[in-house]
Amino acid sequence: MTALFAVLTAATVYIPVLGIIFVWILPLPLLIYTIRFGPKPGAMVLAVSFVVSLLIASAFAIPLVLLFAVGGYVVGISYYRKRSAFQTLYAGSISYIFTLVLLFVGSVVILDIHPFEALQSGMEDSVDSAEQVLTSLDQEVDEEQLDMYRDNIGQIPQVAPLIMVMTGIGYAFLTQVISHQFLRRFTSRAYRFPPLREWSLPRFFLWFYLAGIIMSLAVIEDQGTTMHMIVSNIFPLLEFAMIIQGASVMFQFVYMRNITRALPILILFPGLMLPLVQVFVRILGILDIGLDLKNRIKSEKK
């Protein structure tokens, strides 16, 4: 497993085209080994993998090993202890988020590079370049649209915690989804998430969401303040969770009515780019938590 992880790390670092694919299977060697042999042997393989990868891929391997090897190891421990998919998602998310914060601090303190300010600068340069190209081609430039893009880009450093949290959750989720495809070949135990229609937030979450709405309205004019920054990083997470809840209602409806699952997929993925669709899905989520819509749909079907 150590050799496999080292080879994948080297390929990810030195062959960027393959790296786009290999980066998503980097956690698998540590994850599978930890599930089969336990936390202590897994920790030894993790330590050896770090040293070998560092020798093969130099310092470029450090972020990859810290992020994906540790993430795979933590997910493997959770599965080894027979935790549920959502408990494992929680553990994996904490691992990835903690590592991302560690890498962020290391970048600022050691390299004197603020990753999110660098991202902001790069995106601003891209917008300026696009504006120059349009101007040189005598194309009409929508200044109002460009100003909106620049305002959104200017918010990137402020919402850095949100970006790291969402990235950590996304990495943990993808690690579990991808690992399931491999683990089912080696074991009869199910490692997959339950169907989306069965996902449900606890009822008290609705009070957090309502409090978030009130706080976001209270600080809407106080940009730049600490409270505005806190709300800007927390409330989008609550909104995202409510969208997931609303999506579960849609999938429950089509399941009980024997309608193809393609319908909610076609509505959700393109539609979530539109604010009105987002509002509609969140309202479904609110009604489900408050009025138990999914159980009502089941009752009507019976």
Convert the pLDDT of each residue in 90-114 to its tens digit: 999 999 999 999 999 999 998 888 8
Do 234 and 212 contact (CB within 8 A), yes or no? yes
Please, what are the domains in the chain?
Answer: 1-113+160-193 (1.10.1760), 115-156 (no CATH), 196-302 (no CATH)
Helix 275-291 crosses helix 262-271 at what angle (to 10 degrees)? 120
Determine the Cα–Cα distance for residues 128 and 122; give it in Å rounded to an integer.
Answer: 10
What digits encode the pLDDT tens for the residues 160-212?
999 999 999 999 999 999 888 888 776 666 678 888 888 998 888 999 999 99
Give pLDDT, residue 187.
66
pLDDT band at 147 (very low <50, low <70, confident <90, very high): confident
What digits encode the pLDDT tens for the residues 56-88?
767 777 888 888 889 999 999 999 998 989 999
Give pLDDT, residue 300.
67
- Give yes or no for residue 302 having a pLDDT over 60: no
Give pLDDT, residue 43.
92
Do 214 and 255 contact (CB within 8 A), yes or no? no
Q: What is the pTM of this model?
A: 0.88
Nearest to 211 by CA among 182, 238, 180: 238
Residue with tokens 């509505």, as numbered in its chain: 267
DSSP category for residue 59:
G
Give pLDDT, residue 76.
93
Label residues 80-115 b or e (16+ Cβ within 10 Å = b).
Answer: beeeebeebbebbbebbbbbbeebbeebeeeeeeeb
Give pLDDT, residue 102.
93
Give pLDDT, residue 78.
93
Determine the Cα–Cα distance for residues 190 and 47; give it in Å rounded to an integer.
Answer: 29
The token duo for 173 is: 């989720």
Backbone torsions φ then ψ of 219, nearest 5 degrees:
-110, 10
Do 250 and 281 contact (CB within 8 A), yes or no? yes
- Give yes or no for residue 218 having a pLDDT over 90: no
- Average pLDDT estimate for 253-260: 87
Determine the Cα–Cα distance for residues 107 and 21; give it in Å rounded to an integer.
Answer: 25
Nearest 5°: CA angle at 219, between 217 and 222? Answer: 140
Determine the Cα–Cα distance for residues 205 and 286; give it in Å rounded to an integer.
Answer: 10
CB count in 10 Å sphere of residue 123 = 16
